[in-house]
Amino acid sequence: MKLIVKEYDLDSSEPAVIIHDDDCIRLGVKVHDRVRINSGDVWVSLVGNSDTIVEKGQILIPNIYLKRYNLKDGDEVDVAHSPKPDSVIYIRKKMDNKTLTKEEIYAVVNDILEAKLSNIEVSAWLTSLYINGMDLDEISHFTNAMVDTGDRIVFERQPVFDFHSVGGVPGNKVTPIVVSIVAAAGLMLPKTSSRAISSACGTSDFVETFCDVELSAERVKEISEEIGAVFAWGGSMNLAPVDDIVIKVENPLGINPRAQMLASIMSKKVAIGATHLLVDIPMGAGTKIPTMDVARAYVRDFTDLGHKLGMHVECAITYADQPVGQAVGPILEARECIRVLEGDNHPGSVVEKACALAGMILEMGGIPNGADKAKELLESGAALKKFREVVAAQGGNYDIKSSDLVPGQYTQDVVATKAGFVHSIDNKSIVQIARAAGSPSDKGAGLLIFKKRGQRVEKGDVIMRIHADNEAKGIRAKELALRYAPIHIEGMLIEKG
């Protein structure tokens, strides 16, 4: 049946076209059916008899599908009913806790990317993965399927080092420091990072306060091969793009199934051609990895999967039962990160973590006494120089100083209501407070933690300062801070008896 294309710009996160009810009857399709448009397949999740939204003889197609199928407003297209793809059967097979073949996994990944599967089906897929899981062979196929449905970057310069932090700990601004140290040692580490989804601030969220992170694949290759490093936002390249679709379904459910998580991370690394990968596994109460047993299972997963994928993978289990350093939020974290590169030894937790991780990568690259060498490159200013080269290559100011970064002007102090020692800091509450202040979309928003675990606090001491770009958000964040009281203070009991 011939219909006239009308562009439609509704962001529904569901691949959907809209057809007039009368035309649906003639086509024999109803809500949740799929229609085939010319040679391609598009899922119809919306069909309606709206006079205001669609007219008879029209088909409303979202912009992104117009691009994909090389269509434009006013084109005449041939529309027909399309049967369910076989991938629905493979999703059912995973529900029944069966092992999927390589071909079946590729079919599911391909159909998610090509919008042949609806949110309902992707949700069932993720729920099945969450409950029934995948074995390592399946995860390896899954990873490769995600790589093969996107672009790759092929570097002339080899080997390609990479670094990934599993995330979950607020204030983790070590990435640009680690990368700068590694590049200063002469190794190449083309780092792609993400933006925050539910966390307070992703690496790209704070790096973009001082340089551009949306780089093309060509530019990532050029900068990395010339300078040895890059701090790019992974989302600006087409690496394992199916991940972006899946994340939109994971978020409302609040799940990140192990198989999906491993395949998502490793597919980005394979796509960028990583030969050596260090995975930082932050472990601590209130994070994704609460115990040493869970952390060790992650280590096994990453190293075994790396082996299957032909990549040398090492893991570092790091402590994450409180935020890393003092600062949480884009400008605040950027400032703390650059201060460390400038030679500030405070906060020690940031310096220690960055040097330990960079040191492991140096040793993977054949440089002995990695941690000492990393410290040396940081203290000599070699890492800062490398950092500035990358910033300049990404359109930032080579002469950037930490003092250039000014956090939100509206501040709210939280004071201790009693004296004692900081017993623990609740990561989840810290994230909520920083987000209430406006982080990560308000670049100046966030918070500074002045007292960390084990430190002595006197009644009336400022233990936390909230920064905001907007006064109302600052006040709301402080209300949350008083309600959550995330910094727990207790008397230190040496002996009981």
The yes or no reply on residue 49 touching a copy of itself (CB under 8 A) is yes
The yes or no reply on residue 52 touching a copy of itself (CB under 8 A) is yes
| Whole-number Cα distances in Å, 60 to 8, 40, 412, 464 | 6, 15, 49, 51
Q: How far is the CB of 47 from a copy of itself (least distance, A)?
A: 6
Compute the distance between CA of residue 319 and CA of residue 286 in angstroms, rounded to an integer: 12
Identify which of residues 241 and 365 has a Cβ nearer to a copy of itself in the complex.
241
**Do residues 18 and 8 lie in contact, with contact meaning Cβ atoms separated by under 8 Å?**
yes
Compute the distance between CA of residue 7 and CA of residue 365 in angstroms, rounded to an integer: 52
User: How many residues contact a copy of itself, by CB under 8 A?
Assistant: 47
Please return the burial class of 428, using the count of CB atoms within 10 Å of its CB with bins 0-12, 13-18 and 19+.
middle
Q: How far is the CB of 50 from a copy of itself (least distance, A)?
A: 5
For residue 43 the two structure tokens come to 């899922």
Q: Is the dihedral of CA 340, 343, 349, 355 positive or negative?
A: positive
Q: How far is the CB of 428 from a copy of itself (least distance, A)?
A: 14
Residue 231, classed as helix, strand or coil, is strand
Query: Which 8-state DSSP code applies to residue 20?
Result: B
Residue 190, classed as helix, strand or coil, is strand
CA angle 428, 430, 433 (to 5 degrees): 110
Identify which of residues 165 and 256 has a Cβ nearer to a copy of itself in the complex.
256
The yes or no reply on residue 19 touching a copy of itself (CB under 8 A) is no
The yes or no reply on residue 130 touching a copy of itself (CB under 8 A) is yes
E-strand spans in 234-390?
276-283, 312-319, 327-328
Residue 4: φ, ψ to 5° = -100, 130
| Whole-number Cα distances in Å, 478 to 199, 224, 414, 474, 482 | 18, 42, 7, 6, 6
The yes or no reply on residue 484 touching a copy of itself (CB under 8 A) is no
Compute the distance between CA of residue 26 and CA of residue 132 in angstroms, rounded to an integer: 41
Stretch of 15-23, 201-209, 293-301, 348-356 contacting a copy of itself, by CB under 8 A? 15-23
DSSP conformation letters of 252-279? HHT---HHHHHHHHHHHHHHTT-SEEEE
Q: How far is the CB of 359 from a copy of itself (least distance, A)?
A: 38
The yes or no reply on residue 121 touching a copy of itself (CB under 8 A) is yes
The yes or no reply on residue 127 touching a copy of itself (CB under 8 A) is yes
Identify which of residues 8 and 69 has a Cβ nearer to a copy of itself in the complex.
8
The yes or no reply on residue 124 touching a copy of itself (CB under 8 A) is yes
Stretch of 44-52, 72-80, 139-147, 214-222 contacting a copy of itself, by CB under 8 A? 44-52
- Binding residues for a copy of itself restricted to 200-259, rule: CB under 8 A: 248-249, 251-255
Which position among 37, 41, 45, 215 is part of the footprint of a copy of itself (CB under 8 A)? 45
- Binding residues for a copy of itself restricted to 57-86, rule: CB under 8 A: 84
Identify which of residues 55 and 372 has a Cβ nearer to a copy of itself in the complex.
55
The yes or no reply on residue 277 touching a copy of itself (CB under 8 A) is no
Q: How far is the CB of 14 from a copy of itself (least distance, A)?
A: 7
Which position among 1, 14, 236, 285 is part of the footprint of a copy of itself (CB under 8 A)? 14
Contacts to a copy of itself by CB under 8 A? 8-14, 16, 18, 21, 31-32, 45-53, 84, 88, 91-92, 95, 97, 118-124, 126-128, 130-132, 248-249, 251-255
